[in-house]
Amino acid sequence: MIALAVAVVGIATWPAGTSARAATATPAWSVPLRMVLVTLTVVGLAALEPLLGVVLAGALASLPTILLVMTPAVHWSQGPADAVTLVWGTLVSITGTVVFLVVLVATAPALGLWPALALALLALPVGPAATRALASRLRRAGLLRGLVGVEVGVLAPPLHRQQLGVDPAGVRELGR
């Protein structure tokens, strides 16, 4: 529930659109380097598992680790707007992952593995769609200003808002 709530608030308070920048050619060494960095990070977390515990090590070894490598690489090769888009897409899609896992865990004991997997796959798009709809309603109702305690559009420092072309008074349209 916490992941879903954070995703809804994050999407609803996300700053307005960003300015596009032409992509630059990615060097040939970039993808292998990213693969090595993610692998080393995951192996390092696996080695720390006795200290961190299974749950924390597993949580850190998934999306946060991948984003830790991917976001700076996208920022460097394609610019800050594309890095922001990567993180926004991850925020939206994480709710699909949560719905998939909840449906799988809830239905596997009663239905068996394969029917539960099929049902979880069918439920996968429900998370992002519901999150975007709820975030849009909360934003239109103005409920997040008091709940979050920040003005929409001040989530990034002023210099970054200017570089990204963010309208400090607006919010990203979620229907894209």
* 53: region left, alpha or beta (phi > 0 left; psi from -120 to 50 alpha): left
Q: How far apart are the C-alpha atoms of 10 and 81, rounded to whole Å?
A: 17
Q: How far apart are the C-alpha atoms of 16 and 23, rounded to whole Å?
A: 21
**DSSP H or E run through 105:** helix 80-111
Q: How far apart are the C-alpha atoms of 97 and 91, rounded to whole Å?
A: 11
Q: Given a cut of 80, is residue 86 above it in pLDDT?
A: yes
Domain presence at residue 85: yes
Domain presence at residue 170: no
| Structural domain harbouring 139 | 2-13+29-164
Look at residue 140 in the predicted model and tell me its pLDDT. 81
Domain presence at residue 19: no
**pLDDT > 90: percent of the chain:** 12
Look at residue 112 in the predicted model and tell me its pLDDT. 95
Side-chain half-sphere exposure of 75, counting CA atoms within 13 A: 13
Of residues 124 and 65, the one with the higher pLDDT is 124
Q: Which two tokens stand for residue 64?
A: 């946060």
Look at residue 110 in the predicted model and tell me its pLDDT. 96
- Indicate the DSSP class of residue 21: -
Q: How far apart are the C-alpha atoms of 44 and 84, rounded to whole Å?
A: 27
pLDDT class of 81 with cuts at 50, 70, 90: confident
Q: Given a cut of 80, is residue 72 above it in pLDDT?
A: yes
- Number of H helices and E strands in the chain, helices first, is 9, 0
Number of domains in the chain: 1
**Tens-digit pLDDT profile for residues 36-52:** 887 888 788 888 888 98
Domain presence at residue 169: no
Q: What is the pTM of this model?
A: 0.60
Domain presence at residue 22: no
Residue spans of alpha helices (H) in the chain: 2-12, 30-52, 54-60, 63-78, 80-111, 113-123, 126-141, 144-148, 158-164
Neighbours of 163 (CB within 10 A): 15
Of residues 129 and 16, the one with the higher pLDDT is 129
